[in-house]
Amino acid sequence: WNALAPRGRLAVISFHSLEDRLVKTFCRDKVKEGHGVRITKKPMTPTREEARANPRARSAKLRIIEKI
């Protein structure tokens, strides 16, 4: 987080629920502290077509936060 410039965006892709919980908690804490703004309110997930074309992507979740 310290290496990120102000107005810089951090995008994290998680593939497992435990990973996603860590990312979700990190993002929530940064927003509560006033250090960041969520760009994606809910995690972005692959479409059905994308999951069909790439089965390993079906569990992926993308979360984006911007540093203030």
Q: For residues 58 and 60, what is the distance between their CA atoms, to the nearest angstrom?
A: 6
> Does residue 68 sit in helix, strand or coil?
coil
Banded model confidence at residue 17, pLDDT cuts 50, 70, 90: very high
Kindly state the average pLDDT of the residues 13-32.
98
Residue 24's alpha-carbon distances to 1, 38, 53, in angstroms, are 15, 10, 27
Structure tokens belonging to residue 11: 């995008």
**pTM score of the predicted model:** 0.89
> What residue spans define the domains of the chain?
9-67
What does the pLDDT look like over 36-60, one tens digit per residue?
999 999 999 999 999 999 999 999 9
